[in-house]
A and B are shown apart, each in its own frame.
Chain A
């Protein structure tokens, strides 16, 4: 419980997004530019002041194309973080590091993606011959991310007694929150437990509603120093703590080969995150946990120390992760019911919670945990109010 050199030294001061949808007419570049422009307008910072850029290695828009479209000036720092959905909080945290070290003063971080078309899904990009890690899974028909996580889920259920009811708790909580969020894809579509239980299988033990959405859209945030943040129009969301992790012997998505495959990157990330946080897991008021698949929430609840190993399932019972519960989780609807943009909407919802402007606002939320993908090299943030 000590502060570190990053503690509260930077803040997210602006957030922006596009509409979310399927088959949006705009290009990924246009979506990125609109989200960034909206984030700059949100904090009143002109584009020429932006001198840092951060995104995912999987981002298809190049920094140069974004910079000259949005009208940025002298950019002195830019960086990308790898491993898809594991990158989101890492992108923001590395931007904070750039500000603290003086490499940049105003950093824009973003993710833009057109994912909704079936042909744009990475697993469907057919490659006939595979080497490296893919050769140990793909030939046998373990083709999609959902298959990879379903394998860990079955083992999780076997070891700990997790049930489909626990997974349904996750899907239903996200949907209830989305039903309050007009920007969410599933705003007008309730989800009942009966619908969940009768849904078609995708990869047993996971059904349709255990999966995130497929979305076209973009989000952006603006990060600057705590000093500068005080002069800006929005309440700052201070970056209190930040961590990334790759555990020993980890293999991304198909972590079946270590001594303890159910102890994923979240555990290592959490140790680092809480080591430089004055806010403890018990103090966290609301959490945005990466939810490409519902079982990742159970693993993340355990990894980030909200409960013991194997207790993630029962933790979700009795509405505990819904608004009004012990730890409201994914209050925008997140990847499963708002939009799946590699988890960057978890960051913006974390900011809204500490600003007090969420459509599922947790009363007295003076902090928020945000995590990126479990099951891949990952990252996490603790955001807080002044």
Chain B
């Protein structure tokens, strides 16, 4: 970790050296990846070094369809860190993957691949709504976000 602020002012993930780094590297290639055990095959999110089902440390990253449904959401208002406050109110969602609904991701709903996290009218967000992953660059990171389908 570093105490220096990022160029965008957003909080960013580590692209190397963390258990989750392969996820972000996948996003940069336009792939939504999920960690899976290389022995028993069970998927897990968030990623971790040992499979909680069979205790294997062998692990791999698998591509997903990128299709999901909204599991829950919030609409965030200040006080917030400055870069986020500029966009408030904005939404944050939890989505459950269609491929495997036990796998969930936190993200944001956007009105298209280039739209901001405040581009969706919060009143139109519903739990259960079908969404599709899109990828958006922020500084040196590619964020997965979600757009209605």
Contacts and interface: CB of A to CB of B under 8 A. Distances in A.
A259 interface: yes
A138 B80 CA distance: 12
A133 B90 CA distance: 22
A380 to B, nearest CB: 26
A135 B14 contact: yes
A294 to B, nearest CB: 15
A197 interface: no
Interface string A184-214: 0000000000000000111111000000000
Interface residues of B, number: 47
A132 B3 contact: no
A254 B104 CA distance: 11
B13 A133 contact: no
A204 B72 CA distance: 11
B81 A124 contact: yes
Contact of B11 (A128, A200, A254): A128
Contact of A151 (B19, B92, B105, B143): B92
B13 A141 contact: no
B2 A129 contact: yes
Interface in B51-94: 52, 71-77, 79-81, 84, 87, 89-90, 92, 94
A129 B92 contact: no
B14 A129 contact: yes
A256 B81 contact: no
B71 A203 contact: no
A139 B72 contact: no
A136 B24 CA distance: 10
Contacts of B20: 131-132, 135-136
Nearest to A205: B74
A154 interface: yes
A150 B102 CA distance: 20
B12 A257 contact: no
B5 A135 contact: no
Nearest to A200: B77
A136 B80 contact: no
A155 interface: yes
B81 A136 contact: no
Interface string A126-153: 1111111111111111111001001110
A204 B93 CA distance: 12
B71 A141 contact: no
A155 B81 contact: no
A289 B13 CA distance: 35
B144 to A, nearest CB: 9
A257 B45 contact: yes
Contacts, number: 135
Contact of A154 (B4, B13, B127): B127
A128 B2 CA distance: 6
Contact of A257 (B6, B84, B104, B127): B104
B75 A158 contact: no
B94 A256 contact: yes
B107 interface: yes
Most chain B CB within 10 A, of A135, A150, A155, is at A135
A159 to B, nearest CB: 9
B32 interface: no
Nearest to A249: B52
A151 B84 contact: no
Contacts of A64: none
A249 B48 CA distance: 11
B72 A152 contact: yes
B71 A147 contact: no
B36 interface: no
A138 B77 contact: no
A364 B14 CA distance: 56
A249 B90 CA distance: 29
14 contacts: A124-B79, A128-B6, A129-B1, A129-B2, A132-B19, A136-B46, A139-B138, A141-B90, A141-B117, A142-B106, A158-B72, A202-B77, A204-B74, A256-B106
Interface of B: 1-6, 10-14, 17-20, 24, 45-46, 52, 71-77, 79-81, 84, 87, 89-90, 92, 94, 102, 104-108, 117, 122, 127, 138, 141, 143
Name the 9 nearest CB pairs between A and B, nearest first. Answer: A131-B18, A204-B75, A155-B72, A135-B13, A150-B74, A138-B11, A131-B14, A201-B77, A154-B72
